[in-house]
Structure 1
Amino acid sequence: MNGKILKGITNIETAVYFVLMIILTFVIIFSLFELALMIIEKLLYDNTPYILEAKGILQFFEFFLLILIGLELMETIKSFIETKKIQVEIVLILAIIAISRKIIVIDPATASEFELMGIGLVVIGLTAGYYFIKKADSLKYAKKS
């Protein structure tokens, strides 16, 4: 009986992941269209002396990185569905992209010193974690050879 309940819960969990993948796919596709429209509108219909100002470029990067985060999130869910294990490397890449997005769009004039130091510590921690995971993987593969 416990096996049937656990199997049912696992099936529901898998169904939820698939629904999330489908929703995330639609969000990414519509975001991509919105990004393209934003660029086309800025290039064709904006009557400023500069085609793209610094603020417009930062908005583009912010939107672009947000789409990239969505793709990495999709990769994380897909990997979990396939292996039933959370891939820490993919999660770290997702976090590195997210904090990179924050760094790119942050206004240093309005950010506090503590916020900037905190972001720096997060970057150091994430990259160190990614380095150690890659190092452990390379050692694991070297032992198998």
Structure 2
Amino acid sequence: MVCMGNICRSPTAEGVLRALVQRAGLQRRITVDSAGTHGFHVGVAPDKRSQQHAARRGYDLSRLRARQLTARDFERFDLVLVMDEANEQAALALCPPAHAGRVHRLTQFCLRHQANAVPDPYYGGAQGFEQVLDLVEDACAGLLAALQARQP
């Protein structure tokens, strides 16, 4: 899961997908992580507002810490899921050409919502953080279904 600073959207997506993977009993088969395209907040916990809104829906983000996306991530992970076009472009610029097919927008997996991006809630109010959760929960449910369909 990749956003710009790894303090709002991508840790929320990590927390949501991690919870879904655990509920499905797939934590030994599916690894979930998050990173930012920029190193603004390396080592910092997710934004308090992200943590609060996620906690209201049963997701604990408190142990997560921001890190920056690296070229090695494209080798370690089968999918690198970005939140918007800017993150997609930044990820692809770092990505070894052989792994460019691993980069996708998370919203491609939405089942109910029609969205091209998970908008950055950082400068907005509470509604923005709720919208992020709505989109991320939908997309992560679709992603997990797609992963389960691919599993032998």
TM-score past 0.5 threshold: no
Larger Rg: 1
Structure ranking higher in strand proportion: 2
TM-score (norm 2): 0.28
Structure ranking higher in helix proportion: 1
